[in-house]
Structure 1
Amino acid sequence: MQAAVYHGQHDIRVQQWPAPPPPAAREIQLEVLRASICGTDVEEFISGPHLIPLTAPHPASGHVGPLVLGHEMVGRVVDVGTEVTEFAAGDVVVPGSGVSCGTCRWCRAGRTNLCATYYTVGLHVDGGLAERVNVPARISRSVGNCPPDVAIMAQPLAVALHAVRGASAERGASIVVIGLGGIGSLAVAAYAARGIDTIGVDVSPTRLEVAARSGATMLINASRQDAAAAIRNATAGDGADIIIETSGTPQGLATAMNAVSRGGHIRLVGLHRDPSPLDLTRLVLDEIHVSTSKVHICDQDLPEALAILADHPDIATRAVDSTICLADVVPAGLTRLAEGAAAGKVVVKP
C-alpha cells in the first residue's frame, strides 16, 4: 500500500509500505477515508525526531525505525479481531490517538491519557496517513451521521475540548487563546459552541483568519502590537481570567504571564521545548493557577466532539484549509503548514 513514512528530519516519503496484518483480537482494521496533518507531525518533520522512536524501541509500543505518520483519521472498518463485538465491516469510525492499557491506576481513575504504558498511533506505531491501519477497537467511536469530511475534525476537537474542560469558564469570563493553529482555533470553536466569547492571539494573519471563522470575538496580531497590553486594555486593565496557551513558544508563555489576571488560570497545551522560565514569585503572590492539558480522554472527549460536530458541522468546514491526495502530503501539506501558508487544517484523502 501507499503510505507517508517518517525517516527523519525533512525526510518523509510517500512510498510502498507493507499493509497491516490481520487485526489482533481486540483490533479493527480501517480503510482510511480521511486523515489530517497535526502540528506535531509538522514539528517532527522540521526539527524531529522528538517523539518518534527512530533509533530505539518505544517502551510501550515496541516500535523502532521509520513509521507511518498520522494520528487524526476517519476510516471504514474492513476487518475485526476475534474479540471485537462493537464494530463490523462497513462501519465508519474515528479512532482516538492514544492507546492505554485500561488497568493501571491512572486508567482506573479515568485518566487514560496518563496511562503508564501510553503510546500514540502515528507517532509510536504506524498511523493513518496510509491506505489502511490497525487500531484498538476500544479507542474508536462510530461517526454516527457525521460525514467523513466533518468527522475528521473529531480527534483534534477532542484535544481542544480536553483543554477547555480543564479551564472551565462561566459566561462573562475573559478568555484568551494564544496560538491559533489546529488546536487553538478548535478551542475557540469549542468555547463558541458554548456561547462563550474569546480573544485570539497569533502572529499569522492566516491563522487569525481561521480563528475569526471559528468564532473569536477579538483578534490580536502579536507581530504588530504588544499582545499583553492589548489584552489588558480589552479587560479594563485586569487581565484575562483564563488563558489557553497552545503555541508552545516562549513568546506565547511570556504573553500569558503578562496578560493573566490576579487569581487567573493559565492552561498550557503547546509543548514547550525551549527553556521557558515562569515568574514563580508572581504566580504565588497573585495566586495564578497553572495547569496542563495532554491530548484527550477518549471516553469523555471523543463522543462530545462527535456530538458537537453533528450539531455544528460548520466547525469542520471552517477549520479546513485544503484537501489533498497522499502523494502531495509533503509539498502541499507539511511544507505549507511549516511555512504558515495554510489557513487551517490540511486533510488528506489516502
Structure 2
Amino acid sequence: MVPTADEETGDNHEAHHDWESIMAETMRAAVYHGARDIRIENVPVPVPGDGEVLISVRRNGICGTDATEWATGPVMVPLTHPHPASGHQGPMIPGHEFVGEIVEVRGDLNLRAGQIVAAGAGVWCGACDRCAQGRTNICRRYYTLGLNAHGGLAEYVAAPAHTLRTVPEGLSLDHAGMAQPLAVGLHAARRAGVRDGDRVVVIGAGAIGTFVLAGLNHLYEADVTVIDMPGRKLARALELGATRTLSARDDVVTAVLEATAGVGVDVVIEASGAPGQYANALAMVAVGGRVLAVGLPKEKPNVDMFALALREITIDSTVAHVCRDDLRPALDILATGPLGGLLLDDVIPLERLVDSGLERLTSGSVDGKVLVDPSVPA
C-alpha cells in the first residue's frame, strides 16, 4: 500500500487559509506551451483529490531538465499525447522541486494545514512489482509533477501526501527548496555501489555533481576526487568534503592513473554530461570497477566496448530518487550543514523565470541553484 503521509509532525505554522475562497479564484502560473514558449497566465487553482493536499508554493527550484524542456522540448512534457500514468495532455505547469505551506488536506492524513512541506514530486502507485521491491522511482505507473503533470511553478499545487515530507524547524525556505534534487543526488550515491575506503572520482561539480558529492559524504567514508573547470565549483567541492580536485583543463586520466599507481579508481560517477567524459570515466576506472551515468550527454558518447568487456567494468545508471529513503535525509543534510548556503545562486519571482532562470541555465551561466518564489506578487 502507498503510505498516506509523512510520519513526522513537523512545524506547526499558525497561518491558515480559507481554501474554499482560494479555489474559487485564479492563480498565477508559468504554463509550458512548447520550446521557448512559457507564459505567465491566470489559471484555476487546483482542487486536491482524496489523499492529496493543496500547497501554497513558496520556492521552486529549476534545473537542467527544466532548461532542456524550455529550450528544445518537449522531451518529457506530454503536450500532444496523454501521459500513460498521469493522463495529462496539453500545456502544463512545470516545476518539480517545490516547497510550500499546506493550505488544505483531503483525507485522513497525518498532515495539517499550516505545515511547511517539501515535495519529492515523483508519484508511485504502491501496487506494482517495482514498488514491492522498494524501487518506487521506476514504478510501472510513475509520473512526476512538473514534468508529466502540473507542478510547482505556480502559486498553488496539489500533490499526493505520500510524496511530501515536513521541513525541519529552522530550515529556511531557500535551503529546503533544494531537498528534491539533493534526494536525487543521494539516490545516485547509493546506486554507485561505493563502499567505505573506496577511491571515487566525480566528474562534474555543478549542482547535480555537488548533490552527489553531498550524498557520498553522508553515506560513506571514501576518498573522493572531483573534476571540473578551475574556479568556484572546485573550491566549493573542497568546502563540502572532497578529498581533492582536478582541473578539467589538465590530462585528468593520466593524473588519476598516476595517483593510483596505474590501477585506476574503484568508482567513477559521471555527472557533467560534457563531451568525452564517459570515455574518460572508462579510462580511469579500475579493472572490475564501476561507472555510474548521471549526467545526460548532449551527444551520443563513444564507448570502447572491447576494452569494457575485457576489463569487466560495470556501467550503471540512476534516475530520480526513492522518496522513502532519500527525501527525509536530504532535508536533514540541508538542516545541519553548509550545502544550501554554498549552492544558492538566486531567488527570483515567477515573472523572471525565463530571463533570470531558464536562459541563464541554458547558457551555462549558473553553477548553483536558482529558486523561484511564486508567492511574490507580480
Give TM class, smaller chain: over 0.9
How is 1:92-241 mapped onto 2 (pairs within 5 angstroms)? 92-145=116-169, 146-193=171-218, 194-203=220-229, 205-222=231-248, 224-241=249-266
Letter paired with 2:368: G
Deviations, residues 23-49 of structure 1 (Å, cap 9, x unaligned): 100111100111100111011122211
Moved more, 290-299 or 10-19: 10-19
Matched, 1:4 2:30: yes
Q: Which residue matches 1:71?
A: 96
Q: Distance in 2 between matches of 1:200 and 1:16?
A: 44
How is 1:7-86 mapped onto 2 (pairs within 5 angstroms)? 7-21=33-47, 23-81=48-106, 83-86=107-110
Q: Distance in 1 between matches of 2:254 and 2:36?
A: 38
Deviations, residues 182-240 of structure 1 (Å, cap 9, x unaligned): 21111112223455442222347454454344333333332x22332232233333222
Give the Å deviation of 1:259. 1.4
Kindly indicate whether the alpha-carbon contact (under 8 Å) linking 1:37 and 1:333 is maintained by their aligned counterparts in 2: yes
Q: Distance in 1 between matches of 2:346 and 2:136?
A: 32
Q: Distance in 1 between matches of 2:70 and 2:252?
A: 29
Moved more, 240-249 or 99-108: 240-249
SS at match of 2:353: helix
Q: Distance in 1 between matches of 2:272 and 2:284?
A: 15
SS at match of 2:360: helix
Kindly indicate whether the alpha-carbon contact (under 8 Å) linking 1:206 and 1:341 is maintained by their aligned counterparts in 2: no
Q: Of the two, which has the highest radius of gyration?
A: 2
Give the Å deviation of 1:4. 1.8
Q: Distance in 2 between matches of 1:84 and 1:183?
A: 36
TM-aligned CA distance change 1:213 to 1:9, over 3 Å:
farther
Q: Distance in 2 between matches of 1:204 and 1:32?
A: 36
Give the Å deviation of 1:326. 1.4
Query: Cα RMSD over matched residues?
Result: 1.9
SS at match of 1:290: strand
Q: Distance in 2 between matches of 1:84 and 1:247?
A: 43
* Runs of 5+ unmatched residues, structure 2: 1-26
Give the Å deviation of 1:155. 0.8
Kindly indicate whether the alpha-carbon contact (under 8 Å) linking 2:292 and 2:315 is maintained by their aligned counterparts in 1: yes
Q: Which residue matches 1:343?
A: 367
Q: Distance in 1 between matches of 2:109 and 2:89?
A: 31
Letter paired with 2:28: Q
How is 1:250-289 mapped onto 2 (pairs within 5 angstroms)? 250-272=275-297, 274-289=299-314
Q: Distance in 1 between matches of 2:186 and 2:265?
A: 19
SS at match of 1:67: coil
Deviations, residues 98-136 of structure 1 (Å, cap 9, x unaligned): 111110111111111111111111001111111100010
TM-score (norm 1): 0.93
TM-aligned CA distance change 1:338 to 1:47, over 3 Å:
same
Query: Which residue of 332, 344, 352 corresponds with 1:320?
Result: 344
Give the Å deviation of 1:273. 5.7
SS at match of 1:334: helix
Give the Å deviation of 1:142. 0.9
Q: Distance in 2 between matches of 1:97 and 1:124?
A: 10
Kindly indicate whether the alpha-carbon contact (under 8 Å) linking 1:210 and 1:343 is maintained by their aligned counterparts in 2: no
Q: Which residue matches 2:4?
A: none
Kindly indicate whether the alpha-carbon contact (under 8 Å) linking 2:197 and 2:221 is maintained by their aligned counterparts in 1: no
Kindly indicate whether the alpha-carbon contact (under 8 Å) linking 2:228 and 2:246 is maintained by their aligned counterparts in 1: yes
Q: Distance in 2 between matches of 1:14 and 1:213?
A: 38
TM-aligned CA distance change 1:48 to 1:211, over 3 Å:
farther
Percent identity between the two aligned chains: 45
Letter paired with 1:234: A
Deviations, residues 27-74 of structure 1 (Å, cap 9, x unaligned): 111001111001110111222111111111111111111111110011
Deviations, residues 227-276 of structure 1 (Å, cap 9, x unaligned): 32232233333222111112234422111111111111101122346333
TM-aligned CA distance change 1:300 to 1:174, over 3 Å:
same
SS at match of 1:24: coil
Letter paired with 1:332: S
Q: Distance in 2 between matches of 1:305 and 1:15?
A: 32
Q: Distance in 2 between matches of 1:206 and 1:43?
A: 24
Matched, 1:309 2:353: no
Aligned residues between the structures? 346
SS at match of 1:157: helix
Letter paired with 1:61: S
Kindly indicate whether the alpha-carbon contact (under 8 Å) linking 2:63 and 2:361 is maintained by their aligned counterparts in 1: no
Q: Which residue matches 2:5?
A: none
Moved more, 202-211 or 110-119: 202-211
Q: Distance in 1 between matches of 2:134 and 2:194?
A: 22
